[in-house]
Amino acid sequence: MSVASPAVETFNAMPARRSWFLVAAILIADGWLYATGLDGALSIADDLLKAYTGSAALTGFRQTVALSVIYLLPLVLALMILVPPLPRRIFIPAFLCTIWANFVLWPLTLTPGPLASVPVAATQIIIFLLTIFWIYRRTGRLTLMASDLPVKSHLVARVFLGLFTTAVSLVIAFVFLIGVGLRNKIETETGGYLTFSRAGVSVAEKTLTKGDKTVRLIGMVHVGDDAFYKNIFSSFPPGSLVLAEGVTDRTGRMTGSMTYEGVAKVLGLSNQVEVQSQWIEKSVKDMQAASPGRPRPVPLMSGDIDISDFSDQTIGFLRATADVYGAPTMSKAYERMVAMNEIYSEEQASTAFTEVIEKRNTHVLNTLDEQIKTRDSIVIPWGAQHMPGLEKGLLTRGYAITAQQSRLVISFAGLFATLMSKD
């Protein structure tokens, strides 16, 4: 007695003969789909081979396949739009996974290491295998064929509808990807001292202790809600020394200044420098009026360096940056930015930025080493990008993180209300 095999579910009962264009389109789509799976497998194999044998025998082939997958993305998108019979639901997961793996990655991050890309490649393989399984369940084969696809009417209308839908989706996706990518970059570069949430933008504050010595690291931004700065400055305990941020220019090397007053005014926010100056002025007055029985106000001293401590190249880069910030109009700022990019390469800009961060971090840590000898508590309210280096420097000095909290700098709800109230 023979047992009948289960019927294979197909897309539609279609004649085997289809147009050469549809045959070519499905061959390209199938080939690209398998290339995504091969890309993931080669990535894992290459990383494992490098990690355990030191061999890079697969690297060249891996890179060729990966680039092919990326370069074919526009063609695959065009096929999904211009070929209505092509089942988009089959290829969209692999399409989106490829974009994510190469341009987004959030919430994953690629940290240096021999197996850093394995989780991403594993995701690619899983998407590929699920897609192939889906095709097999409906066709009985591991690939699609033109004969599997339905015949659809009103092709012109379908194409235009697809074009419109895709255009809108791409705009939304582009804005989203840019936003997510920028958010991920900022949070990574600041070591989590500057984060984004539905509520708004927040900074981290960490307390580090070593014996009876305490250091507070407070991530700062140049513009924010007025309440944030006032709460920060009022939280400094009497007796603590505040090592203030602010590069001096005793020799007049800078021809302009980077000010955030205009941005703060437009957004209805406060400027850090302005609020800090008000706090310093009040502290000086309180100190002058302090009586023997009254707690002394928080002392303040500069923990920063002078502009002349930077290299000539870095000073030139800072001058150009100040010119961009000081531009009277947006068009003028763009013009100056283009000119700046023609003078300074990406490598030179990165070198200048690294020098600005590291030299200042070294100086404030050296100042802390000297001042902590005679003080029990020091507060360092500096820009969030300085915080990872300062925290690392304190940890290497034997300090340990004993407390931390998050402070909301900018409320999205408040910012939206301010912008909507403007004429």
Contacting residues for 70 by C-beta, under 8 A, at least 6 apart: 98, 102
Task: Give the tens place of pLDDT for each residue, 354-373.
Answer: 898 999 999 999 999 999 99
Q: How confident is the model at residue 269 (pLDDT cuts 50, 70, 90)?
A: very low
Whole-number percent of the chain with pLDDT over 90: 18
Q: Is the pLDDT of residue 11 over 50?
A: no
Calculate the alpha carbon distances from 176 to 119, 168, 216 in Å. 23, 12, 35
Q: Is the pLDDT of residue 311 over 80?
A: yes
Length of the chain: 423
Instruction: Return the pLDDT at 287.
Output: 53
Q: How confident is the model at residue 264 (pLDDT cuts 50, 70, 90)?
A: very low
Q: Is the pLDDT of residue 9 over 50?
A: no
Instruction: Return the pLDDT at 400.
Output: 95
Structure tokens at 109: 């991050």
Q: Is the pLDDT of residue 349 over 60?
A: yes
Q: How confident is the model at residue 168 (pLDDT cuts 50, 70, 90)?
A: low
**Residue with the two structure tokens 């399984």:** 133
- CA–CA separation, 138 and 134 (whole Å): 7
Instruction: Return the pLDDT at 266.
Output: 37
Q: Is the pLDDT of residue 126 over 80?
A: yes
Task: Give the tens place of pLDDT for each residue, 48-105.
Answer: 988 888 788 888 898 899 888 988 888 888 888 777 777 888 888 898 888 888 776 6
Of 280 and 196, the one with more pLDDT: 196
Q: Is the pLDDT of residue 1 over 50?
A: no
Examine residue 107 and say whether the peptide bond preceding it is cis (omega within 30 degrees of 0): yes
Q: Is the pLDDT of residue 209 over 80?
A: yes
| 154 SS3 class | coil
Calculate the alpha carbon distances from 224 to 186, 246, 409 in Å. 16, 18, 5
Calculate the alpha carbon distances from 194 to 47, 53, 335 in Å. 32, 40, 30
Instruction: Return the pLDDT at 270.
Output: 41
Q: What is the dihedral of CA 155, 160, 163, 165, to 10 degrees?
A: -100
**Rounded average pLDDT over 136-160:** 72
Instruction: Return the pLDDT at 231.
Output: 80
CA-derived radius of gyration, the chain: 29
pTM: 0.57
Task: Give the tens place of pLDDT for each residue, 215-258.
Answer: 999 888 776 677 777 788 778 877 788 888 888 878 777 765 55
Break the chain into its structural domains and give their ranges. 20-189, 194-421
- CA–CA separation, 123 and 94 (whole Å): 10
Q: Is the pLDDT of residue 273 over 60?
A: no
282 with 234: CB under 8 angstroms? no
Instruction: Return the pLDDT at 252.
Output: 77
Q: How confident is the model at residue 260 (pLDDT cuts 50, 70, 90)?
A: very low
Strand blocks (E) in 109-247: 194-196, 200-210, 213-220, 223-224, 241-244
Q: How confident is the model at residue 307 (pLDDT cuts 50, 70, 90)?
A: confident
Range list of H helices, 209-311: 226-234, 261-267, 272-289
Contacting residues for 404 by C-beta, under 8 A, at least 6 apart: 204, 205, 206, 207
Q: Is the pLDDT of residue 397 over 90?
A: yes
Instruction: Return the pLDDT at 60.
Output: 86
| 393 SS3 class | helix
Instruction: Return the pLDDT at 186.
Output: 79
Instruction: Return the pLDDT at 319.
Output: 84
Q: Is the pLDDT of residue 32 over 60?
A: yes
Residue type present at position 417: A
Instruction: Return the pLDDT at 161.
Output: 61
Instruction: Return the pLDDT at 389.
Output: 93
Residue type present at position 60: G
CA 298, 301, 302: angle at the middle one, nearest 5? 145
Instruction: Return the pLDDT at 284.
Output: 53
Burial class (CB in 10 A: 0-12, 13-18, 19+), 43: buried
Q: What is the dihedral of CA 306, 310, 316, 321, to 10 degrees?
A: -60
Q: How far apart are the first and last CA of the chain?
A: 85
Q: Give the Cβ contact number of residue 201 at 10 Å.
A: 22
Instruction: Return the pLDDT at 160.
Output: 62
Q: How confident is the model at residue 413 (pLDDT cuts 50, 70, 90)?
A: confident
Q: Which of 124-128, 142-146, 353-357 has the lowest mean pLDDT?
A: 142-146
Q: Whole-number mean pLDDT of the chain?
A: 77
| 79 SS3 class | helix
Closest CA to 91 of 101, 81, 106: 81
14 with 149: CB under 8 angstroms? yes
Q: Is the pLDDT of residue 2 over 50?
A: no
Calculate the alpha carbon distances from 349 to 110, 246, 249, 254 in Å. 23, 21, 21, 17
Residue type present at position 400: A
Contacting residues for 317 by C-beta, under 8 A, at least 6 apart: 344, 348, 349, 352
